[in-house]
Amino acid sequence: MKLAGKTDVGRVRQDNQDDYRAGELPGDAAWLLVCDGMGGARGGREASQSACDVIERCFQEQYASKCLPGEEETFLKKSLLSANRFVFQKALREESLAGMGTTAVCALVRGGKVFLCHAGDSRAYLYRDGRLAQLTHDHSYVQELVDCGTITVEEAEHHPQKNIITKALGVDYRLDSEFTTAPLQKGDILLLCSDGLTNAVPREQLEQLLRTGRFYDLPDLLIRTANENGGPDNITALLLRVEEVR
C-alpha cells in the first residue's frame, strides 16, 4: 500500500484547523484519519489535533491486542469515543476552548477491505476504474434535508446552511459514530478529505485529477486545484493506493 497526504490553510482562513494522521500496521495493514476542527481558531486546532493524538495512540498501543479479526467496528468506535471524551473534557476544563469540536473520518485497511468510522462531514471516497464513489454519509443538516426529500443534491451544494453538522467529536460526552465497510481491489485509491476539498472541487474534476495525476503528486494537485477554485476553507487530502490484496 502507498500513503500520501497534505493539509493546507486555503486562501481565506487565517488558521488551519484541519489535521490528519496515517501509518502502516502489522500484517500489511494501514490506517488513515482526517479531522476538521471547529470552535474558533484555537479551539478548532486544539480539537482536531487532540482527537488525532488520541486516535493515533489507540492504534499504536491497542491495535495489536484489541483489533482482532471481526473486532474492527468495536475498535474504531471505541477509538473515536476515547477522542470524543478527551476533547469534551478539555473543553470543560478550559473556558477559552468551550464549544470546540471536530469531525473525524477514520479508515482501517486490511484483509482486502476498508473499515470506516466517522462523525461529521469529512468524507471517505473510493476511486476505482475512473469513478469516484462516496463511502461515508454526511452528518449534516443539509444532508438530512436531502435524505427526506426537502432539497435536491444539487441544491445542497450551495445551501447557505451547509456548514451545520449534526455529529462531531467533543460536543457531547456521548458519541454515536457511524461504521461502514467496503471491499477493495488492486489499484483502488482511498481518499479521505475535509469539506474544504469537496466544497471547492466538483466530483467530475476530482475524478479527472485522480485519473491523470501521479499518486504521490495527488495531495498537492488536489489542494492546488481547491485553492485555484477559491480555497474558501482549510483543505486536507489523504490517500491510500492498494498495491495488492491479500
The backbone torsions φ and ψ at residue 65, rounded to the nearest 5 degrees and listed phi first, read -95, -25
What residue segments make up the domains of the chain, in order of their start?
2-137+168-241
Quick one: pLDDT at residue 34?
A: 98
**pLDDT at residue 150 in the model:** 79
- Distance separating alpha carbons of residues 154 and 223, to the nearest angstrom: 23
Phi and psi based region of residue 230 (left: phi greater than 0; alpha: psi -120 to 50; beta: remaining): left
pLDDT given for residue 145 in this prediction? 81
Task: Measure the CA–CA gap between 25 and 64, rounded to whole angstroms.
Answer: 9
CA distance 19 to 51: 9
Q: Are strands 101-102 and 104-110 parallel, antiparallel or unpaired?
A: unpaired
Furthest C-alpha separation in the chain = 49
Instruction: Give the model's pLDDT for residue 245.
Output: 74
Q: Which residues, at least 6 apart from 51, have a Cβ–Cβ distance to it below 8 Å?
A: 19, 35, 83, 84, 86, 87, 102, 104, 169, 170
Written as tens digits, the pLDDT of the chain (246 aa) is 999 999 999 999 999 999 999 999 999 999 999 999 998 768 999 999 999 999 999 999 999 999 999 999 999 999 999 999 999 999 999 988 988 999 999 999 999 999 999 999 999 999 999 999 999 999 877 777 877 877 777 666 766 676 788 999 999 999 999 999 999 999 999 999 999 999 999 999 999 999 999 999 999 999 999 999 999 999 999 999 999 877
Q: What is the rounded radius of gyration, in angstroms, for the C-alpha atoms of the chain?
A: 17
pTM score: 0.95
Q: What is the CATH number of domain 2-137+168-241?
A: 3.60.40.10
Residue 67 grid cell: 483489533
Cell (9 digits) for 182: 467496503
